[in-house]
Amino acid sequence: MEGIIDTVVLVAISVVGAALARRLGFVAPLVLLIAGLGLSYVPGFPEAHLEPELVLIGILPPLLYVAALQTSVPAFRLALRPILLLAVGLVVLTAFVIGYLVHMMLPAVPLAACVALGAIVAPPDAVSATAIARRVGLPRRVVTILEGESLLNDATALVMVRVAAGALAGAAVGFAEIAGEVALKAGGGLAIGFGFAVAAAWLHRKIEDPLLDDAVALLTPFIVVIVAEKLHTSSVVAVVIAGLYLGHRIPYLLSASSRLQMDAVWRLVNFLLEGVVFLLVGLQLRSVVNSIETDMTTTLQVTAVVFGALVLIRFLWMYPATYLARLIPRVRNREARPPATVPTVIAWAGMRGVVTLAAAQTLPIPGTEDVPEYPRELFVFVAFAVIVLTLLIQGTTLPWLARRLRVSEDSSAQDALAEAGVQHSASRAALEALEEHADGAPKSVVERLRGLVESRSNNAWERLGSQERETPSAAYGRLRREMIKAERHVFKIARNEGRIPEEVLVRAQRELDLEESQLQRSDD
């Protein structure tokens, strides 16, 4: 019973924190992290302990899956080179540089343990960076790079942590072993993710009930991760591949009602998980601090060196990775040379998150299974401190830096122009389909549908350049919402007076809700 109460309390606090963040104009992860840090020292408040299995199997899969579903596959493919440079190259470099630096400071600690720490703190978080990037309005390519990096870098880091932990326990590890481990896990994860995505796509095509579609969608990331873990492959790669494959094909797999309902379900799941996970990270403060056995001076020195090195390595990597590739003619002809402000903002967007803390908790316990003594509690604290410092320092200043360097993109005009052009073609196709299938239909129905198509086309062009205070489509939405409110009130009165049964009210309410939801989407 206490566990259920604690869970309800955490969810309630995360909801309140997210609402407060929106009211204050802050990003929710930052507010919830600070709230967790403060609550961790409130007398009587339950002490939280974040189990790595809960994070890696229960929390991370749906978050990665939703992010992959929403990622544009064409944009991801075009940005694959910088994504892989960050998600693989930078993670590997960071792990070894941090490992050697910590080993120099703590020469008695095995190098393998230090490299494991480097791999733990190497991957930026999948949630915070992209949430801030979208809020700031960074260019789409920058957002795609940050999203793609956060989707794949966890796989690289977790493989390195396992390899380093094996070396710490006495396993012989060389380049061939590392390469084989990476190939096995990444290749296996890719195959599993693709296979289950194809199976899920087949099920979605056969299913006509939106509730069953939701059930399949909710189960997919967990089944993919569990199977991948059982087969000792990369569960992160598997769930990302499944999400990319299905997200790219959703318009062809699901009915309109299934897409609307599934979107609402995933938005709720994502909202609750993101809130709870950052609150839980903050709540770790008391237990992490209380477990430290290393002296405070050494603890602070190692923490400062690791944090400073993480920031510096990312900056030193970004500029060569951005500009040296453009010495290749094929790359130079395909991609415009960005100003130096763009890699600067990407370099500063290196906030760490829950995967770092979960990976730290998987470090082997000293003195068990041939594992030598090393300051495990220090490494867990350093991982926790890196999360807090990067979120509070980089997370709060990234919007300011982006505005200061003017790295933003107002693509509304280009989007409106592209939408208007495609809408014109879509309207023409719709009218052709109408003429083809109109035989036998009442003339009034045909004229009404023709008017609807023309209205959609006009609304798309209207967004391009209307200088009026209120555009016709905005006026239509505002007035129609008032009409819907009046209609809804009449139905409620009729139900209350017993003139219609509850079922009639529910049916009418659903139709009005769907129309109002469509009006809201048009405004957005």
Asked, for residue 472, whether it belongs to a domain, the answer is no
Asked, for residue 495, whether it belongs to a domain, the answer is yes
Q: Is 223 helix (H, G, I), strand (E, B) or coil?
A: helix
Q: Each residue of 261-270: pLDDT tens digit?
A: 888 888 888 8
Asked, for residue 470, whether it belongs to a domain, the answer is no
Residue 201 and residue 58 share a domain: yes
Helices 111-121 and 296-323, packing angle to 10 deg: 60
Q: Please answer whether residues 139 and 367 qualify as being in contact, where contact means their C-beta atoms are separated by less than 8 angstroms.
A: no
Residue 394 and residue 312 share a domain: yes
Percent of the chain clearing pLDDT 90 (strictly above): 20
Asked, for residue 471, whether it belongs to a domain, the answer is no
Asked, for residue 383, whether it belongs to a domain, the answer is yes
Expressed as residue numbers, the domain containing 521 is: 477-524
Percent of the chain clearing pLDDT 70 (strictly above): 87
Residue 141 CA to residue 138 CA, distance in Å, equals 8
The per-residue pLDDT for 522 is 56
Q: Each residue of 321-357: pLDDT tens digit?
A: 988 888 888 877 787 788 889 999 999 988 888 888 8
Residue 431 and residue 325 share a domain: no
Residue 339 and residue 247 share a domain: yes
- For residue 507, pLDDT beyond 90: no
Residue 50 CA to residue 48 CA, distance in Å, equals 6
Residue 66 CA to residue 268 CA, distance in Å, equals 11
Residue 513 and residue 376 share a domain: no
Residue 430 and residue 396 share a domain: no
Q: Which of 409, 428, 445 is the last residue of a domain?
A: 409
Give the residue, 475 or 91, on which the prediction is more confident: 91
Asked, for residue 270, whether it belongs to a domain, the answer is yes
Q: Which of 392, 409, 426 is the last residue of a domain?
A: 409
Residue 393 and residue 420 share a domain: no
Among the ranges given (13-22, 320-329, 360-369, 484-493), the one the predictor scored with the smallest mean pLDDT:
360-369
Residue 500 CA to residue 119 CA, distance in Å, equals 64
Structural domain total, the chain: 3
Q: How far is CA 295 from the centre of its chain?
A: 37
Asked, for residue 199, whether it belongs to a domain, the answer is yes
Q: What is the mean pLDDT of residues 236-258?
A: 86
Residue 510 and residue 374 share a domain: no
Residue 415 CA to residue 420 CA, distance in Å, equals 8
Give the residue, 211 or 50, on which the prediction is more confident: 211
Residue 423 and residue 404 share a domain: no
Residue 168 and residue 44 share a domain: yes
- For residue 101, pLDDT beyond 90: yes
Residue 443 and residue 332 share a domain: no
CATH number at residue 334: 1.20.1530.20
**pTM summary value:** 0.81
Q: How far is CA 83 from CA 45, 149, 164, 326, 359, in A?
A: 41, 5, 24, 15, 22
User: pLDDT confidence of 221, banded at 50, 70, 90?
Assistant: very high
User: pLDDT confidence of 467, banded at 50, 70, 90?
Assistant: very low
Residue 46 and residue 153 share a domain: yes
Place of tokens 């990302």: 240
- For residue 242, pLDDT beyond 80: yes
DSSP of 9-70, one letter per residue? HHHHHHHHHHHHHHHHT--HHHHHHHHHHHHTTSTTPPPP---HHIIIIIIHHHHHHHHHHT
The per-residue pLDDT for 198 is 94
Among the ranges given (42-51, 139-148, 398-407), the one the predictor scored with the smallest mean pLDDT:
42-51
